[in-house]
């Protein structure tokens, strides 16, 4: 039997040491449970991790975020560049259209200049023709207000209706005295009239250019071989030219025909007398020679 422990008697060393160790363990356990120190783990538990929602600094995540930001910036820049490129293309198209318009205007201007040059050349030639017009008998020339009046009087003295018109002479022949109605067929009575005119042309103006102009009234044509007054005027002027050249031997180079039709009426077409006056052949004697 063990000896009974006397109260207030000192305990052996082993007992005292064991009691101190138990107290120290209790203090540590109390501290671990009461303070909830996050850096302490329970026996057999996992290592400490950051609670959910706490930001973590991950270098890879930061780099990806930066790359995404740069991609968005590049996309924005790309859209802006495309917009600027489209605007530049529209402006370039406007410039191209303006350039084409300027080229067209230049081409038209050049054509007008060419036409003006041709007209100026024709005018110069006509002026030179007037200056060196046909020499008549006695070295006379066909000039307005001088021997033109004399030549007009010579035709009139032969019973021919001739009037001066600027620097030209016009011989007026009623179509009703030359042709069958509405046709280009010469009446037999037209021969003496045209023969007399041919004789005076040979005598007075043998080298002048002469136009044979055909005129009609404004009455519509019904049936017949001519569809319009213009066609009728052309055929009538050709018949007169053939009569003067083939029958009377005047040179064909001296004449040319013009179909005026209803143009330039000399009287009012609303009356029978006016329409009769408008149906005519006019021989226009020019200063030019052939």
**DSSP states of 227-288:** SSHHHHHHHHHHHHHHIIIIIT---GGGEEEEEEETSS-SS-TTSHHHHHHHSEEEEEEEEE
pLDDT tens-digit map of 64-120:
988 899 999 998 899 999 999 999 889 999 899 889 999 988 888 888 887 787 777
Mean pLDDT by 10 residues, the chain (290 residues): 48 53 54 48 52 65 89 90 90 90 87 80 61 42 63 92 93 96 93 96 95 96 88 97 96 96 96 96 94
Structure confidence at residue 162 (pLDDT): 94
d(CA 142, CA 131): 10
pTM comes to 0.52
Q: Rounded distance, CA 81 to CA 5, Å?
A: 101
Percent of the chain with pLDDT over 90: 50
Q: Given this model, what pLDDT does residue 171 score?
A: 97
CA 148, CA 155: separation in Å to the nearest integer?
11
């Amino acid at each position: 039997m063990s000896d009974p422990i006397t109260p207030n008697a000192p305990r052996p060393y082993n007992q005292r040491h064991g009691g101190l160790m138990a107290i120290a363990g209790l203090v540590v356990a109390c501290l671990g449970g009461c303070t909830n120190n996050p850096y302490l783990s329970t026996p057999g538990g996992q290592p400490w991790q950051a609670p959910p929602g706490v930001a973590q600094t991950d270098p890879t995540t930061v780099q990806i975020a930066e790359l995404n930001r740069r991609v968005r910036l590049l996309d924005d820049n790309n859209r802006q560049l495309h917009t600027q490129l489209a605007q530049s293309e529209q402006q370039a198209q406007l410039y191209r259209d303006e350039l084409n318009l300027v080229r067209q205007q230049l081409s038209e201007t050049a054509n007008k200049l060419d036409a003006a040059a041709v007209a100026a050349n024709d005018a110069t030639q006509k002026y030179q023709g007037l200056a060196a017009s046909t020499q008549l008998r006695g070295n006379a020339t066909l000039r307005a207000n001088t021997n033109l009046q004399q030549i007009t009087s010579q035709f009139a003295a032969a019973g021919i209706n001739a009037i001066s018109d600027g620097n030209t002479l016009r011989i007026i022949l009623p179509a009703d005295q030359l042709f069958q109605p509405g046709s280009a067929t010469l009446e037999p009575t037209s021969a003496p009239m045209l023969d007399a005119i041919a004789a005076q042309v040979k005598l007075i103006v043998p080298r002048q250019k002469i136009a044979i102009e055909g005129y009609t009234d404004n009455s519509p044509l019904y049936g017949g071989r001519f569809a319009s007054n213009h066609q009728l005027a052309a055929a009538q002027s050709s018949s007169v030219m053939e009569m003067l050249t083939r029958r009377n031997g005047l040179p064909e180079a001296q004449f040319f025909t013009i179909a005026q039709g209803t143009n330039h009426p000399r009287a009012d077409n609303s009356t029978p007398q006016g329409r009769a006056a408008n149906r005519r052949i006019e021989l226009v004697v020019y200063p030019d020679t052939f």
